[in-house]
Amino acid sequence: MALDDLTLTRKEGFAAFAEAPEHPRPPDLTITEVKGMKDEAADKHNRWRRSYLSNLRPIRTDQAKALVEDLADVFEAGLDQPNWEAKGMAAVDAFPGLGKTTVGLSFAKKVHNDLIRENGRFTTAGQERWPVIRVGMRGDTRVKDFNWALLEFFAHAGQRSGTANSFLARALDCAISCESRLLLVDDVHFLKFRSARGTELANEFKTIANEFPLMILFIGYDLEKKGLYDDPQLGRRITPLGLAPFTIDHEAGRMQWRNFLLSLEQRLVLAGKWEGMLADDLSDYLYARCTGHIGSLMQLIRRGCLRAIRNGDECITEALMADVTLDREAAEQRAQWEALLASGKKTSKPRRRARRET
Ligand SMILES: Nc1ncnc2c1ncn2[C@@H]1O[C@H](COP(=O)(O)OP(=O)(O)OP(=O)(O)O)[C@@H](O)[C@H]1O
Ligand SMILES: [Mg+2]
């Protein structure tokens, strides 16, 4: 089932995302079955495969698992803290396309579902429970815009007029009455903390951490350079966290890469696929093409699968992938990695074969 058009800037959209059932997997057919389908049935099957591919459940990579553990530490430590103590803050800072938003949202999804399951959909005072608030930043966000976005998330009637402070006071009322416990602020790199406006925002975040009963999770890249930690109090309170690309310099890293490819190939619904199609036969090739960046790799795999479905190959090979173009950054680094891997100086394959995981 596809998500509707609600966006994550509103609580209803966030709930739709967090509570959506897993996208059903299309049936695994044989090549003969696929080729024997009538046009209409084939169209339906292929549309299903396309939407399934766009809604793949995130793969629990080792990097993602470690990050979620760290987030849970900060979050759980704040849950039973007295109200007058400032709650924890964490910042996930990593290059674009490494899965920050994906991991942040899946953590937020878990918080939403866990707290509703444990405490009910309504608070004891009879208000709807909204464990998570999510705000996305834009280049020109000021304190008032940010506070407005908090109210927008709650679709609060009082968002039409007021001062920055009155917006914040209303947002605080919402967060308290809806028992919100996590504020996710994505794309924080858009903010220029080293400007008058940025200092105001930094101060506003401190106020929120002091007054609101929730953990703030910042997500962005280059946050240190952008000045997020310039303020001594923020520097002390924010736990900096990262998300690394896959690396193949060590055996452990190569094992992680292989495990990831094994999980990924199990998710693919292609009639002609075989065990090891990605993990054995394309390991080096895929690494060179994405240089360990999950975002580029997922893009490549999605495009490759759609092409394999369209042209009837029903499997992924180097020849098919050769025609799939990718983002500029990945294309730039590709030649260097291809040379290294071809020369035998590097390999992406572990010496010991990892077991297939389910
Ligand atoms: N664990 C995962 N499993 C499967 N796909 C993933 C995973 N992590 C990320 N992806 C895919 O990689 C792409 C980039 O991820 P995401 O948008 O989360 O990155 P980001 O670090 O937030 O990037 P940006 O800095 O550009 O916002 C997405 O298409 C996402 O579906
Ligand atoms: Mg992102």
At 81-134, the pLDDT tens digits run 887 777 889 999 999 999 999 999 999 999 999 999 999 999 999 999 999 999
Q: Are residues 81 and 213 in the same domain?
A: yes
- What is the pLDDT, as a whole number, of residue 6? 61
- What is the pLDDT, as a whole number, of residue 304? 96
CATH number at residue 184: 3.40.50.300
Q: Which residue numbers in the chain have pLDDT < 70?
A: 1-6, 353-358
Q: Are residues 161 and 297 in the same domain?
A: no
Q: Which residues are bridge partners to 134 per DSSP?
A: 184
Distance 296 CA to ligand 1 centre (A): 9
- What is the pLDDT, as a whole number, of residue 332? 82
**Measured between alpha carbons, how far is 89 from 109 in angstroms, rounded to an integer?**
18
DSSP 23: P
Virtual torsion, Cα 221, 222, 223, 229, nearest 10 deg? 160
CB of residue 295 inside a 6 A radius of ligand 1: yes
What domain range is 323 assigned to?
A: 23-56+247-342
Residue 123 lies in a domain: yes
**Measured between alpha carbons, how far is 224 from 91 in angstroms, rounded to an integer?**
10
Q: Are residues 126 and 262 in the same domain?
A: no
- What is the pLDDT, as a whole number, of residue 34? 96
pLDDT tens per residue across span 149-162? 999 999 888 777 88
Residue 10 lies in a domain: no
Of all protein residues, the one whose alpha carbon is nearest to atom 28 of ligand 1 is 295
Of all protein residues, the one whose alpha carbon is nearest to atom 12 of ligand 1 is 295
Of all protein residues, the one whose alpha carbon is nearest to atom 24 of ligand 1 is 96
Q: Are residues 204 and 282 in the same domain?
A: no
**Measured between alpha carbons, how far is 200 from 142 in angstroms, rounded to an integer?**
8
Q: What is the mean pLDDT of the chain?
A: 91
How many separate domains does the chain show?
2
* Contact (CB, 8 A) for 118 and 124: no
Q: Which atom of ligand 1 is nearest to the CA of 189?
A: 25
